[in-house]
Amino acid sequence: MDLLIWIDGNLVPKQDAKISVYDHGLLYGDGVFEGIRAYSGRVFEKKAHIQRLYDSARAIRLTIPYAQEELSQALDETLAANKMRDAYIRLVVTRGTGYLGISPVNCARPTVFIIADTIQMYPEEMYRHGMAIITASTIRNHPNSLSPKIKSLNYLNNILAKWEAVDAGVPEAVMLNHLGYVCECTGDNIFIVKGGDLITPAEEAGILVGVTRQVVINLAQAADIPVRQINLTRYDLYTADECFLTGTGAEIIAVTSIDKRPIGPGKVGPLTRQLAEAFHRKVREG
């Protein structure tokens, strides 16, 4: 069955789901989005994702032409129309169709579309054995340039860092901020384990505050695992007992080597496994 795409209130076949070449989301990356997962027919952390979308839109002075409840229903409608129970959902809001020229005032109405499809971020073997990553030379954008909390359509900064990972033959790269502190990876948040504590970069380091990141923090706190959100350096990564990444697409995946330095014993650690199992229980149970 051909996929159906929800676009501006209508479900249309994938091959007919088109936006204008004058859409400012395409011309200038002017828009916001969310990557969302559905498990067993339920949209996971739906409220948190929709709230972040509206917060991102408000931060760039983009008014979404639907109420939150309307978009919530549209997510369910798109899943049902495609008869999907487990899916990756991309919810996108662009500035809309305008004219050549950067000014957003010429865009009459934002474009909104929802794609429900499948995704596999990493091979299954990597989830069992962990993966190697590098530190990118490309740094995260300065937070006074564009807040990293805005999940915008402009990912060029992350893409350039991803190229560094590709060139190094690894799937991901750690990005530092302008002060040299660890931010996140190109598409995932990062955690380390040291002395039994779960540690992740603080929001002020310049991170996208991930929904899965917060779920993992909540799971750790529920299991009485000490959680710290602090500035981290590459040294902290290299000397960690364990390391893992979190993201909507990636879920939880262990890192066993950074810049050719083994993390701990160079295999998936016990706390990483514990939290991954707790996460999978949560998504199954709702």
Res 286 pLDDT > 80? no
Same domain membership, residue 175 and residue 78: no
Please report which residue ranges of 29-142 form alpha helices under DSSP H. 46-59, 68-81, 124-129
Domain termination residue (choose one: 97, 117, 137): 117
pLDDT at 119: 86
pLDDT at 281: 95
Please list, residue by residue across 39-53, b when 16 or more beta carbons sit within 10 angstroms of its beta carbon and e when fewer do.
Answer: beebbbbbebbbebb
Same domain membership, residue 140 and residue 89: no
Same domain membership, residue 255 and residue 138: yes
Same domain membership, residue 34 and residue 79: yes
- Which residues are paired to 253 by β-bridges? 245
Overall average pLDDT of the 2-8 stretch: 95
Res 32 pLDDT > 70? yes
Pairing mode of beta strands 197-201, 227-230: parallel
Res 277 pLDDT > 80? yes
8 within 8 A of 111, measured Cβ to Cβ = yes
Same domain membership, residue 77 and residue 157: no
Kindly report, residue by residue over 6-30, the tens digit of the pLDDT. Answer: 999 999 999 999 999 999 999 999 9
Same domain membership, residue 145 and residue 103: no
Tell me if residue 151 is catalytic.
yes
Domain termination residue (choose one: 60, 94, 117): 117
Percent of the chain topping pLDDT 90: 95
- Which residues are paired to 185 by β-bridges? 174
Expressed as residue numbers, the domain containing 92 is 4-117
Kindly report, residue by residue over 148-173, the tens digit of the pLDDT. Answer: 999 999 999 999 999 999 999 999 99
List Cβ neighbours of 28 (8 Å cut-off, separation of 6 or more).
95, 102
List Cβ neighbours of 26 (8 Å cut-off, separation of 6 or more).
19, 20, 94
What is the rounded distance in angstroms from the CA atom of residue 81 to the CA atom of residue 104?
A: 33
Overall average pLDDT of the 199-204 stretch: 96
Overall average pLDDT of the 241-255 stretch: 97
Backbone angles phi and psi of 156, in degrees to 5: -60, -40
229 within 8 A of 189, measured Cβ to Cβ = no
Same domain membership, residue 133 and residue 272: yes
Query: Which residue among the candidates 151, 194, 260, 282 is catalytic per the annotation?
Result: 151
Same domain membership, residue 143 and residue 231: yes
Same domain membership, residue 226 and residue 84: no
CATH number at residue 32: 3.30.470.10
Overall average pLDDT of the 118-132 stretch: 92
Kindly report, residue by residue over 35-91, the tens digit of the pLDDT. Answer: 999 999 999 999 999 999 999 999 999 999 999 999 999 999 999 999 999 999 999
**pLDDT grade for 285, boundaries at 50, 70 and 90:** confident
Same domain membership, residue 149 and residue 12: no
CATH number at residue 245: 3.20.10.10
Number of domains in the chain: 2
pLDDT at 120: 83
Same domain membership, residue 92 and residue 169: no
What is the rounded distance in angstroms from the CA atom of residue 90 to the CA atom of residue 114?
A: 6
Same domain membership, residue 95 and residue 193: no
Q: How far is CA 40 from CA 43, 49, 86, 181, 283, in A?
A: 8, 18, 6, 38, 8
pLDDT at 1: 63
Domain termination residue (choose one: 76, 96, 117): 117
What is the rounded distance in angstroms from the CA atom of residue 244 to the CA atom of residue 252?
A: 7
Q: Which amino acid is located at 97 in the chain?
A: T
What is the rounded distance in angstroms from the CA atom of residue 263 to the CA atom of residue 253?
A: 14
Structure tokens given for 142: 């300065």
pLDDT at 2: 86
